A = this chain, B = another copy of it.
Amino acid sequence: MKITLLILSLLLGSCSFIYGHDFTQYVNPFIGTGAVDQYSHAGNNFPGATLPFGFVQLSPDNKDYPDNPCSGYDYNNKTIVGFSHTHLSGTGVEDLFDVMLMPAIGDIKQANTNPENAPSGYSSNITHDQEKAKPGYYQVNLLDYKINVELTATEHAGFHRYTFPKSSESHILIDMNHSIPKTIDWLPCRMIAQIKIIDSVTVEGYRITTGWVKGYRRVYFRAEFSKPFKSFAMINGTEKIASQQLANGECVKTLLDFNTAEGEQIFVKVGLSATSNENAHLNLRTELPGWDFDKTCREAENKWENELRKIMVKGTKEQMEIFYTAMYHAFTQPNNIADVNGDYPATDMTTKNAPDKQHYSTFSLWDTYRAAHPLYALIQQERTASFVNSMIRQKKTFGFLPIWQLWGLENYCMIGNHAIPVIVDAVNKNIQGIDIEEAYEAVKASSLVDHPYSPFTVWEKFGYIPEDILSQSVSITLEMAFDDWCVAQFAKKLGKTDDYIRFIKRANFYKNLYDKQTNFFRAKDKNGNWLSPFNPFKYGDNGNSPYTEANAWQYLFHVPQDVNGLIGLMGGPNAFIAKLDSFFSITAGMSEKN
């Protein structure tokens, strides 16, 4: 493949019309949505409609209480229960699935309130022959109802076009209970919701919900319909009440009824906000004042084209699909959760305002600090400044930078404080729009204030993390040393010598877990004894092992800040090269694979 990196991204807006949709054509949103054989997993991606880094990501969900894949959609599952407006892409834990709409015909089966028995509810069969997806657009034919569904999106709004058959029993359902399963102990999903019928073409509502984050997600919506519904019913729990205009409850839905002619199209626009119904309305009328679905699709595709053409590669069609779909996935998050006026939900449950109208969330930093963020720092420089500013805002209310931030809230998932390398990289690349002193203060606080998986008091006392104090100790030690090296570089740049000395010392703590007997990084207890037995192939998950989603072999080379130091520990270049070679040729017994 040949790669051309366009640095002058300012020129790109005008270029798109010269080149046409050269690159979106290679994006296949179904890549990553399903296991291809019994040995593989789904990529946990979703096929629905979104803008680059968009807040609304409108996509089909297979079942009432999506869990696996985390995106809600499995290509191998040929049912759809509805179309919800928010999704995670590629994560290892499920959440979101907010504000689900579903068109249907005839008697509506109530969704099963028992997640054990899902799927059920309003679901329809589909066939992939009658399903399409491209950047900013998704289409499927609901076979049970003979309804064709098309979806597109703006940053804060979903746009639905439903083509109905002739029927006096056509419906559109809004389900505010649709969520992750409500039965997972470590992922407690509690719901308080409201739906309010404003008039015969307008519905509003909200829900406050818990799940992956240790906090309360607020989700507000306003839905506008192109055709008045002839009647409606509110469903509160298991009770269905005709003409009930408002319901508050743990499980609320509304059913809107229409007469439709053969081929009649009904459009629904749904504005979302994380701060208020007023802002959901503002977002909607700002971004989607009219009803031109095709125009919205074209604008979405153009926005994707402008992002994707930032790297121009040539290769086989398959290579081009793999490359541009991966790039599409890279630009699917983080998401700007601020409203068009800049309001965003702060970690302290207040609403604050971002002057740049951007507050990004979905920071899965353990996964993204190595590759995705360095890429953004090259070809998403303006957004990188906004990413950094969003992270600094978390520090102001929460006390430290994001680790895994979802919907503006922290879930402490995974180890390390890898907002630090992202910020230091941005500062070193001289990305504009970042307050350097504020950034440094946030970086330093995140390296000194103890928080889950970051016991800095222990770190400075022992010079490593003892496994009997905190598990995943080898991985934490290696990653914390790297983050500390980044802090040291930042301190040096700002001439903060005392800080530099403190953090560069900590950056070398990784050496304290190098075992010259086995030539691996290995766990110690708080008395300084190596833990036995030791097996460098033994895989650790997320606890009860010194290694995080890896083994001692895989963590052996995680000293990016001091490759020469690592070479020295191993006994010099030859020993290092031999070890590196072995890493690519060793075969572990099947029992040690994951």
Contact = CB atoms under 8 A, between A and B. Distances in A.
A351 interface: yes
A399 B236 CA distance: 14
A146 interface: no
A349 interface: yes
A351 B275 CA distance: 10
A457 interface: yes
A216 B399 contact: no
Nearest to A214: B192
A398 B192 CA distance: 12
A215 B241 contact: no
Nearest to A348: B206
Interface stretch (A131-139, A242-250, A490-498, A584-592): A242-250
Contacts of A241: 450, 457
A538 to B, nearest CB: 29
Interface residues of A, number: 33
A208 interface: yes
A449 B349 contact: no
Interface in A429-481: 445, 449-451, 457
A349 B214 contact: no
Contacts of A398: 194, 248
Contacts of A457: 241, 244
A511 interface: no
Interface string A199-228: 000000010100000111010100000000
Contacts of A276: 348, 350
A451 B275 CA distance: 25
18 contacts: A192-B216, A194-B399, A208-B215, A208-B349, A216-B216, A220-B348, A236-B450, A241-B457, A244-B450, A244-B457, A245-B449, A246-B399, A246-B445, A248-B410, A248-B451, A276-B350, A349-B349, A350-B351
Given A246-B400, A248-B398, A351-B351, 10 more contacts: A192-B216, A208-B349, A216-B216, A220-B348, A244-B449, A247-B399, A247-B450, A276-B350, A277-B348, A349-B349
Interface of A: 192, 194, 196, 206, 208, 214-216, 218, 220, 236, 241, 244-248, 275-277, 348-351, 398-400, 410, 445, 449-451, 457
